[in-house]
Amino acid sequence: MITKTTPEVGGMGHPIKRKEDARFLQGKGNYVDDVHLPGMVYGHMVRSPYAHARLKSINTEKAKQLPGVLAIITGEDLAKANLAWMPTLFFDKQMVLATGKVLFQAQEVAFVVAEDQYTAADAAELVEVEYEELPVLVDPYKATDPDAPILREDREEKSNHIFHWEVGDRAATEKDFQNAAVKATVHAISQRCHPAPLETCGCVADYNKATEKLTIYLTSQAPHAHRTLFSIVGGIPEQNIRVISPDIGGGFGNKVPIYPGYVCAVVASLTLGVPVKWIETRSENLQSTGFARDYHMTAEIAADQNGKVKALRVKTLADHGAFNAAAQPTKFPAGLFSVCTGSYDFANSFCEVDGVYTNKAPGGIAYRCSFRITEAAYLIERAIDVLAAQLKMDPAEFRRKNFIQPDQFPYKTPLGWTYDSGNYEGAMNKALEMVGYKELRKEQEEKRKKGELMGIGISSFTEAVGAGPAHTFDIAGIKMFDSAEIRVHPTGKAICRMGTKSQGQGHETTYAQIVAQELGIPASDVIIEEGDTDTAPYGLGTYASRSTPTSGAATAMAARKIRDKAKKIAAHLLECSEEDLEWETGKFFVKGAPSKSKTIQEIAFAAYTNFPEGLEAGLEAVNYYDPPNLTFPFGTYICVTDIDKGTGEIKVRRFVAVDDCGNVINPMIVEGQIHGGLTEGLAIAFMQMIGYDENGNVQGGTFMDYLIPTAVETPHWETGSTCTPSPHHPFGAKGVGESPNVGSPAAFVNSVVDALSHLGVKHIDMPITPWKVWNILKEKGVVS
Ligand code: CDP
C-alpha cells in the first residue's frame, strides 16, 4: 500500500503537470543542435548510393579546394588510427567509414568538415567515389543459399549466417505436437521499421588541446556507457571525456547505438582542435541509423480439443542488415524474444532464431521495447487469435481459458523467465467491459448480415521491462544496474541526479515525486538532473522502460538511506532514542506525542548546523540498484475497426487500452506514455515499413514514404488501468513506457483480420494499408 501524500507534497499517484514542459512549451529546450560553441565547424557525410559495391577509389581533391573546407576524412585515414571499424553493442563490428567495399545504401564513406554546414554539404557532393557494383542480397531467406554473395569478407566465417539460438525443450514440445488434437500455425512478419524520433541523431565534439579534455554533446540515451565505450575504443582516458546529453527529442532505442557520425566528429575535433558539429538529416536518420524489427516468424500452437494450449513452437529468421548492431544488453542473440509464450500457460515450448546479414542498414535496435519483445508479443497474440478462429472460439474466451492464473505467480515460463506478478483476466475483463464487448459482437453479427465489415481485435500482452538484473544483462561487461544520488540542502530543498536519461518521458517530474513520497520534500522543491557524466552517478541509461524499475528504485533506496540518517538527527534534536520515533510523510515524531516532531526541513538544517557528535555532516546518499528481476507489466488492448468496402480504408472506431504497471507514480504521465506508444503502434500496424527494392535501394527513406500519423489519422484512445504491484520493486512499480507499442500492433491486426475472417482471411502482414485490404476484398469478390 502506498501512503497518499497531500497534493502540496505531490508524491506518488498525483497527476502533477510535467515540470520540464515549461521550457519545452516556450521553445527553451536545449537540444544538441542548439549547442553553439565559439569556433565551431560542421561535418557532413558522403554516403554510398549503392547497396553493395567495391570501393575502387576516393578522390577528395576537388572537394578540398572548395573555400571553407577544413578536412576530409576517409576510411583509410581512420584505418591508420585503427578506427576504420568499431565494435557494435552485440559482438560484431561495423565500418565507421567504408574501406574495401560498401554493404548498404547510404553507408558512410567519407566525412567532410567545413566552416559552415552548407559548405560541408556542397563539398560532400564534390567527393568523387568510384564504385564497382556487386550482386545485392536483399531477401533474408536467400542469405544462406549457396549462390548468395558473401557480404562480410572481414569475417573468418565465409557465410551470411550470424547466429543460431535456441531455447526450450525441443523434445517435449515435439511430443506435445505429435499428441495434439489441434494445431495452428501463423507466419507473421514484424516488418523493418524505424523509431524516427522528432530529433535526429547528432553531436558536437569539442576537444580542448590545452586541457586534453573531450566534451561530447550527444543525442544519447546512455551517456555513461557511451563515455566508457569512447574511452575504450578511442584510447582516451575516461576522466578526460565528458558526455553531455542535453534535452533529447525522442529516442525510442534509436539513440542507444554509437553511430559513425559521432566517431568522425570526435576524430575531426581531435585533429583540428575545434568543436565539430554533426547533425544528420531526416533521410540519413531513416536510411542509415538503427532500424527495428525485421523478424520473420512462424509460430505453431498445439492444443487439446477443448482449446487448452499445450505447447508453442517458434522459428524465426532475423534480418540484421550489414552489421549486427543490435543494441541489446542480454546474453541472448535474440534478446528477450523468448518471452514469446506471452500471457499463456504453456506446458512446453521451443524457440529458435537464426540471424543473417543482408545489404541493408545495420541495427536491430529495440524500438520502444525491450529487445525483441514487440516481435514476441505480436507473434503470440496473432497465433492465439489464429487458433481461436480455427476452433471457432471467441478470442476473449479463448484467452481466458489459457491465461496464467494470479495464484501461479511468480510464474516460471517454459522458456526460462520468471514473471513477477500478474492478473491477466482482471485486465481483460476491465477492457471488455469498457469497450462493451458483448454488444459489439452482436453489432458485428448484424453488420455481417448486411455485408458490412467490422472487426474487434484483442491483445492481452505481457511485457518484460527494467533491464538488469546484472546476472543477465550487461553492456560490454558493465552490469545493468542504475543509480540515484540525492543531496538535501540546508533549507530542505534537494537535487537528485540519476544514471538514466529522459528523452521526453517526464523524468524531471516523476523522480521528484518519488523523493517527495519517500522524504516528504515537496516534488516542486526537488531538482532532477540527468545526462552529464561529470556530475551524475554512473548508470546505463534509459531504454527498455528501465528507468522506473532501476533508477526509480535507486531513488527510493537512496531516499530511505537519507531517512535513516534523518532519524538519527531527529532523535538528537528531540532528545529521545531512535526507537521512540515514528515516521509520517515529511516528519519524525515521538510515539504517543505527535506534537513533539521535527520536519524533514528542520532535520535538513540540523544536518549542517546541529548534528549529533560522531555523525557526518550533510544529508545525502547514493544508491546503485541492481534489480533482482525484470518487471512484467501487462494489459489488454481492444481495437474496433470499420472497413470501407470501396476503398479498403480502415477506420479505428474505438481503441480501449487497459494497462497494469503496478503502482503508478504519475497517472497523467503514464496516460501520455500510453497515448504516444499507441500512436506509434498504429503507425507500424497500418503505415510504416522500411522496404528495399531488389537492388537494395531503400524505400521509406523520407517522410514522403515513411508515414508518420498526424492528429488526422490518430483515433481517440480510451485508457484504463488495473494495479498489480511488482513484489520485488521497492515501491511496487513496473515500467510502462513501452507497453503500448508492444501490445498494440496485434490488437490492430487482429481487428482487421477479424473483420475479414468470415471471408477466409487468416492473417495479413503489416503494414496493413488500404491498398492491401482493397486487393484482398477484390480477390474475395466483395469490393463495392
Ligand atoms: O525508461 P523510461 O522512462 O522510458 O520508461 P518508464 O520507466 O516506463 O517510465 C516512463 C514514464 O512513466 C516516466 O516518467 C515514469 O516515471 C512514469 N511511470 C509512472 O509514473 N509510473 C509507473 N509505474 C511507471 C512509469
Q: 217 and 246 in contact (C-beta within 8 Å)?
A: yes
Q: Ligand 1 within 6 A of 503 CB?
A: no
pLDDT digit string, tens, across residues 734-767: 999 999 999 999 999 999 999 999 999 999 999 9
pLDDT digit string, tens, across residues 10-49: 999 999 999 999 999 999 999 999 999 999 999 999 999 9
pLDDT at res. 327: 83
Q: What angle do CA 678, 679, 680 make, to 5 degrees?
A: 90
> Which atom of ligand 1 approaches the CA of 547 most closely?
1
Q: Ligand 1 within 6 A of 370 CB?
A: no
Domain 291-407+418-467+629-779 has CATH 3.30.365.10: yes
Q: Evaluate whether 32-134+200-248+255-288 and 291-407+418-467+629-779 have a shared fold.
A: no
Residue 582 pLDDT more than 90? Answer: yes
pLDDT at res. 328: 84
Out of 736, 738, 742, give the residue to mutate to test ligand 1, the one with the largest number of ligand atoms within 8 Å of its CB.
Answer: 736
Q: Ligand 1 within 6 A of 547 CB?
A: yes
pLDDT at res. 476: 84
As a three-state string, the secondary structure of 310-332 is: EEEEEEEEEECCCCCCCCCCECC
pLDDT at res. 468: 87
Protein residue whose Cα sits closest to atom 10 of ligand 1: 737
Protein residue whose Cα sits closest to atom 16 of ligand 1: 510
C-alpha cell at 99: 574501406
pLDDT at res. 627: 96
Active site positions, annotated: 221, 368-369, 738
- CATH fold for the domain made of 32-134+200-248+255-288: Aldehyde Oxidoreductase; domain 3 (3.90.1170)
pLDDT digit string, tens, across residues 649-681: 999 999 999 999 999 999 999 999 999 999 999
pLDDT digit string, tens, across residues 609-621: 999 999 999 999 9
> What is the architecture of the domain spanning 21-28+482-625?
2-Layer Sandwich (3.30)
The alpha carbon of 125 is separated from its chain's Cα centroid by a whole number of angstroms, namely 35
Residue closest to 371 by CA, chosen among 331, 315, 323, 418: 331
Q: What share of the chain is helix, strand, coil (3-state, %, to 5)?
A: 30, 25, 40
pLDDT digit string, tens, across residues 421-469: 999 999 999 999 999 999 999 999 999 999 999 999 999 999 999 998 9
pTM given for the model: 0.97
Protein residue whose Cα sits closest to atom 2 of ligand 1: 545
Residue 125 pLDDT more than 90? Answer: yes
pLDDT at res. 690: 97
* Helix H or strand E encompassing 426: helix 424-435
C-alpha cell at 356: 543473417
Every domain of the chain and the residues it spans: 21-28+482-625, 32-134+200-248+255-288, 291-407+418-467+629-779
Residue 366 pLDDT more than 90? Answer: yes
Bridge partners of residue 638, in order along the sequence:
458, 656
In which order are the strands placed within the sheet that holds 182-190? 161-168, 348-356, 309-319, 295-303, 182-190
Residue 89 pLDDT more than 90? Answer: no
pLDDT band for position 91 (cuts 50, 70, 90): confident
Interatomic CA distance for residues 115 and 69, integer angstroms: 6
Out of 16, 368, 540, 548, give the residue to mutate to test ligand 1, the one with the largest number of ligand atoms within 8 Å of its CB.
Answer: 548
pLDDT digit string, tens, across residues 701-723: 999 999 999 999 999 999 999 99
Protein residue whose Cα sits closest to atom 24 of ligand 1: 735
Distance, CA 108 to ligand 1 centroid (Å)?
Answer: 35
Residue 87 pLDDT more than 90? Answer: yes
* Helix H or strand E encompassing 494: strand 494-498
Distance, CA 326 to ligand 1 centroid (Å)?
Answer: 23
Distance, CA 601 to ligand 1 centroid (Å)?
Answer: 28
Protein residue whose Cα sits closest to atom 4 of ligand 1: 545
Q: Stretch 347-352: mean pLDDT, rounded?
A: 98
Q: 133 and 697 in contact (C-beta within 8 Å)?
A: no
Q: Ligand 1 within 6 A of 514 CB?
A: no
Out of 17, 482, 498, 505, give the residue to mutate to test ligand 1, the one with the largest number of ligand atoms within 8 Å of its CB.
Answer: 505
Residue closest to 69 by CA, chosen among 30, 127, 14: 127
C-alpha cell at 332: 541472448
Q: Is the peptide bond before 648 cis (omega within 30 degrees of 0)?
A: no
Q: 477 and 463 in contact (C-beta within 8 Å)?
A: no
Distance, CA 525 to ligand 1 centroid (Å)?
Answer: 20
What DSSP string runs through 75-95? HHHHHHTT-SEEE-TTS-EEE
* Helix H or strand E encompassing 485: strand 482-488
Protein residue whose Cα sits closest to atom 3 of ligand 1: 547
Q: How many C-beta atoms lie closer than 10 Å to residue 593's C-beta?
A: 11
Interatomic CA distance for residues 577 and 671, integer angstroms: 45
- How does the average pLDDT of the chain come out, rounded? 97
217-246 burial string, b = 16+ CB within 10 Å, else e? bbbbbbbbbbbbbbbebbebeeeebbbbbb
523-543 burial string, b = 16+ CB within 10 Å, else e? bebbbbebbbbeebbbbbbbb
Interatomic CA distance for residues 669 and 13, integer angstroms: 10
